[in-house]
Each structure stands twice: as C-alpha cells, then as structure tokens.
Amino acid sequence: MPKKKEKEPFFHITQPGIKIPQANMQEIFSSKKAEKQKKDHSAHPKGKDQKEHELKEEKTLSEQVESKLKDAALAGKDSEKKVQEIIENFEAENSNKEGDSPFASHIKRKPGPSFKRLKSFKDMNTIERLNYLIDFPKQLPPVPCIFETEKESWRGILVGKAEETIEIKMFDGKTKSIEIQTLKEIRMSGLRK
C-alpha cells in the first residue's frame, strides 16, 4: 500500500509581518490669529474677568455714593435734597450701563411668536388675496382659483400682477388679462372640475 504523504492545506494565506504605523501628531501650534486673540483677550477682559471688572466698577461707584451721602449728611438741612440728587444720579448711571449692553433689547422684549399670523383667505379683501397669491411659496404648486367679474368668471392660476391688471393662466394654456377694478371675487377652487 502506498504511503500517505502529509499535504499542505489547499487554502493557505501567508500573513506578512507588518509593523503598525506610528502617527506623527502635531505637538506645537502657533499662528498670528492665535497671538492676536491672546493680546485682545488680555486687553479686553471677557467672561468671568469682565464680570469681576464690572463688579469692581459698581463697588467703586457705590462707595463714591456712600461717601457723598455721608458728606451730605454732615452738611446740614439741605442734605435731603442732596441725598435725593445723588441717588437719582446713581440710578441714572446704572440704567445707562444696562442700556449699553448689547443684550439689553433682548432682555426687555416680551417673548412672542416668531412669525406673523396671516388672515384666512376668506377674510381677505380682493387686493390682499391677489398679494397672497403673488407671494405664494414657490416650493408649493400654484393654487387654481376662480376669478369672477360682473360679466364672466375664469378658472386658472394667477401668473402676474401689474398696477391695474392681472394675468391668469387658464387650464387650456391660454393667458387672460383682467383689470383689477372689474374683479368682483377671487375664490380658491382646487384641482376639481
């Protein structure tokens, strides 16, 4: 009987010895913008530093007011008037500082809706309806309407508006020009026949 030889596997993939690459990361960064920002930051305090700076200013102002109040109290009978003037000046300065803040207008304003609510189409007059149809969003398909005058009525889509006339594109492809003064009513009809 023949001797069996040991065979190598049919599917053999040799794996090469690969070294894992080491990434060179950036360790130092410098730019003119970064240096300029550092200079600006040191010149103009921001964040906590700015708040501390404002608090110091308020303390010095309040100390000045207190010293003026003490001087006024020592002055005598006119002290009440002087005290009142000093207090009014102090309040005026504080209100000016609050008004200088870029966020002051946002703080005082009452929250409300961010968009203006439109009237319903039925409640609008003829001119408002025409303006509504002219300014209709271009993303949406145009709204078919019935344009009525005293003599006739036309069904179509409003294409354009001039000062005294409007252009309607009818469903058969023709365009019709109508005077705005002769329009009696505009109704949305939809796509039904």
pLDDT of residue 64: 73
pLDDT of residue 178: 92
Q: How many C-beta atoms surround the C-beta of residue 186 within 10 A?
A: 21
pLDDT of residue 114: 64
Q: Could you say which of 3.40.50.150, 2.30.30.520, 3.30.70.20, 2.30.30.30 is the CATH number of the domain covering 121-188?
A: 2.30.30.520
pLDDT tens for the chain, residues 1 to 193: 567 777 766 666 777 778 888 888 777 766 777 777 777 766 655 555 666 767 777 777 777 767 766 665 565 556 667 767 777 777 777 666 555 555 555 555 566 666 677 788 888 999 999 999 998 888 989 999 999 999 999 999 999 999 899 999 999 999 999 999 999 999 998 766 5
> CA-to-CA distance for 27 and 47, rounded, in angstroms?
28
**Residue whose pair of structure tokens reads 């929250």 in the numeric block:** 111
pLDDT of residue 5: 77
pLDDT of residue 65: 66
CA atoms within 13 A on the CB side of 147: 27
The CA–CA distances, whole Å, from 44 to 4, 33, 41, 94 equal: 89, 16, 5, 21
**pTM higher than 0.75, yes or no?**
no
Assigned token pair, 32: 């003119």
Whether the Cβ atoms of residue 37 and residue 44 lie closer than 8 Å to each other: no
Of residues 188, 183, 176, the one with CA closest to residue 142: 188
Is 156 buried (19+), middle (13-18) or exposed (0-12) by CB count in 10 A? Answer: buried
> CA-to-CA distance for 118 and 143, rounded, in angstroms?
17
Residue ranges per domain, the chain? 35-101, 121-188
Category of 36 on φ-ψ map: left (φ > 0), alpha (ψ -120 to 50) or beta: alpha
Kindly write down the DSSP assignment for every residue of 146-167, as one continuous string: EEEESS-EEEEEEEEE-SSEEE
Looking at the chain, which runs of residues are DSSP E strands? 145-149, 153-161, 165-170, 175-179, 183-188
